[in-house]
Structure 1
Amino acid sequence: MEDKKAIVVGISGCSSSGKTTLARLLRDIFSNTFILHEDDFYKPEEQLPVKDGLVDWDCAEAISVPDMEAALRHIHQTGTFPTFIASKEDQNTIGACPVPDSAISAQKARVASWLGPGQPGRAVLASGVNICLLDGFLLYTPAVAPVMAGLDIKLFLLVSRSKATRRREARDGYVTLEGFWKDPPGYVDHIVWPNYAESHAWLFEEGDVEGRLRKDVLRENGIQAQVGSGLDVDMSTTLEWAVGVIMGELERLVLGKGES
């Protein structure tokens, strides 16, 4: 591994696929971990594109990619949260946690065991490397290739159109640089889902984002997903999967395990 002070874990998927919920759970399970949100890199609202008469917050043009690149460089070089970012994302509500306390405790115990004496996690911890969880709706697409290249571990969450729509429409709204944003009627159908489908079609067979993932494309780009598990996997199962992937990838990246 290069001389990085932090490992950046990308957590991406459609809006309302559970990214922020998963990031917050992982932050509480792994030590020396902090969250960076793609939403903190939005351009000012007056600079955002308009689509079908609606302000489009859900496209690559709405995000300052150079600022995200700068933040990732800072994190890799220092292992710390970029002080030049005034994060607003944690002010947004995401509803009650869907994972029972017992399942969270089980994953905490799993990581604690991995960190025990003689275990690989102990060596990872001793390296002094921190973990940054980058939560974003648009991390794996050619439009943000420089950002994707800066991610060390890439997790991709799947969701059906119906569940994404239901969860998005249930949200109160979003804290923004200018104040507060509430989705206007039809926003998911006209903006959110079409943009997600267009940006992520390359990861799926025949471009169907509710269909089967292309394993060859995932492998070539180092993207990890719950292949074969279907859409709308419950968050307890997703959490268990994510913890396992991160532990294995940390061993590979920090300790060189599994490398030829």
Structure 2
Amino acid sequence: MVIGIGGASRAGKTTLAERLKQYFQQEGKPTTILHQDEFVFPIEQIPRINDLVDWECPASIDFRKLRQAIEERLGRFRVVLVEGLLAFADPAVDELYDKKIFLDIDEATFRERKASDRRWGMEPTWYVDHIWNSYCKYGRPAVEGHDWLVLNAAVPIDLAEVIRFLR
């Protein structure tokens, strides 16, 4: 099973992926997580915006390598979790997902959480604006069909609800 988890920066994608991995492993199902951030192109190949690297655009991700990694892991794991802002941005990767989870977050919650995020140092306000705008442009998929679960990520995620959806 391949599960895609998407949503804005600081929505809880990695946390949910880790919780699901723990759950599936306790169920005896070998599980792995692929983080979209591990599949970025070399920095010199990524577009820039105002002299900063634009990590927020689809052109920053090597989707071919991500797809290859998913296909390779399917031979070794029962569950492959793929998480990232742009988890649903590439049709060739998107078609591999058996289930899709979208962590929806409002702009105020995003900005509040982002203000306390110091992983990349202090980001300029215009870049935080750019992150939000890129999420709205590239990261918010059209959530149609029975294979989607849309969760309000501004509140704690109910793991039992997620598990019911994945069964």
Q: When the two structures are superposed, what TM-score results if normalisation uses the length of structure 1?
A: 0.57
Instruction: Using the TM superposition, give the Cα deviation of residue 201 of structure 1 relative to its aligned residue in structure 2, in angstroms.
Output: 5.4
Query: Are 2:161 and 1:241 aligned?
Result: yes
Query: Are 2:72 and 1:147 aligned?
Result: no
User: Equivalent pairs: percent with the same residue?
Assistant: 30
Q: When the two structures are superposed, what TM-score results if normalisation uses the length of structure 2?
A: 0.87
Which of these residues, 121, 141, 145, is aligned with residue 182 of structure 1? 121
Query: Are 2:83 and 1:135 aligned?
Result: yes
Q: Contact between 1:19 and 1:135, CA under 8 Å: does it hold in 2?
A: yes
Which of these residues, 232, 240, 243, is aligned with residue 154 of structure 2? 232
Question: Secondary structure of 2:81's partner?
Answer: strand
Instruction: Using the TM superposition, give the Cα deviation of residue 223 of structure 1 relative to its aligned residue in structure 2, in angstroms.
Output: 2.4
Shift in CA distance, 17/201, structure 1 to aligned 2, threshold 3 Å: closer
Cα distance per residue 1:85-136 (max 9 Å; x no partner): xxxxxxxxxxxxxxxxxxxxxxxxxxxxxxxxxxxxxxxxxxxxx1111111
Name the one with the larger strand percent.
Answer: 2
RMSD of the TM alignment (CA)?
Answer: 1.9
Greater relative CO (CA pairs within 8 A, separation 6+): 2
Tell me, in whole angstroms, the C-alpha distance in 2 between the residues paired with 1:245 and 1:135.
17
Cα distance per residue 1:26-75 (max 9 Å; x no partner): 11111222211111001111211112443210110000011011111212
Question: Secondary structure of 1:34's partner?
Answer: strand
Name the one with the larger helix percent.
Answer: 1
After the TM superposition, which segments of 4 or more aligned residues of structure 1 sit over 3 Å from their partners? Answer: none
Instruction: Using the TM superposition, give the Cα deviation of residue 182 of structure 1 relative to its aligned residue in structure 2, in angstroms.
Output: 3.2
Tell me, in whole angstroms, the C-alpha distance in 2 between the residues paired with 1:231 and 1:62.
25
Query: Are 2:119 and 1:199 aligned?
Result: no
Tell me, in whole angstroms, the C-alpha distance in 1 between the residues paired with 2:141 and 2:91.
13
- Letter paired with 2:108: S
- Letter paired with 2:165: V
Shift in CA distance, 15/69, structure 1 to aligned 2, threshold 3 Å: same
Task: Choose 1 or 2 for highest CA Rg.
Answer: 1
Which of these residues, 210, 223, 228, is aligned with residue 148 of structure 2? 223
* Unaligned stretches of 5+ residues in structure 1: 1-6, 81-129, 174-180, 204-216, 249-260
Q: Contact between 2:70 and 2:80, CA under 8 Å: does it hold in 1?
A: no
Shift in CA distance, 38/201, structure 1 to aligned 2, threshold 3 Å: closer
Partner in structure 2 of residue 62 of structure 1: 60
Number of residue pairs the alignment of both structures matches: 162
Partner in structure 1 of residue 38 of structure 2: 40
Shift in CA distance, 47/30, structure 1 to aligned 2, threshold 3 Å: same
Question: Secondary structure of 1:16's partner?
Answer: coil
Shift in CA distance, 69/168, structure 1 to aligned 2, threshold 3 Å: same
